[in-house]
């Protein structure tokens, strides 16, 4: 069942976005480091992102997707020695 808007406490978001949490938020460098840390810890070979940020305007969501494609993915591939 969907959670009504406005019921996600800030402390839960902070915990999920912090070290060990499942949310990948921050600068492209921070997100890259989180992806690489997860890869190192779990040996992952794939990453799937869900970008549906609720009330975030489309332009901001599109900018996030663009950063993922143009900065984060290339940096992860470079760090892992992939083409």
Give the integer Cα–Cα distance in Å for 22 and 12. 11
Give the integer Cα–Cα distance in Å for 29 and 79. 12
For the chain, the domain total comes to: 1
pTM of the shown model: 0.81
Residue 15 located in a structural domain: no
Q: What is the band of 1 on the pLDDT scale with cuts at 50, 70, 90?
A: very low
Print the domain residue range for 61.
Answer: 50-83
Residue 80 located in a structural domain: yes
6, pLDDT greater than 90: no
Residue 58 located in a structural domain: yes
**pLDDT digits over 17-72, tens only?**
888 888 888 999 999 999 999 999 999 889 888 887 677 888 988 999 999 999 99
Residue 59 located in a structural domain: yes
State residue 5's pLDDT score.
Answer: 61
Q: What is the band of 4 on the pLDDT scale with cuts at 50, 70, 90?
A: low
Residue 65 located in a structural domain: yes
């Amino acid at each position: 069942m969907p959670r009504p808007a406005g019921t996600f406490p800030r402390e839960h978001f902070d915990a999920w976005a912090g070290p060990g949490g499942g949310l990948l938020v921050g600068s492209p460098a921070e997100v890259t480091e989180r992806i690489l840390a997860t890869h190192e810890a779990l040996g992952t070979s794939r990453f799937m992102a869900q970008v549906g940020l609720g009330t975030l305007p489309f332009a901001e969501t599109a900018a996030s997707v663009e950063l993922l494609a143009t900065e984060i993915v290339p940096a992860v591939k470079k760090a892992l020695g992939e083409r």
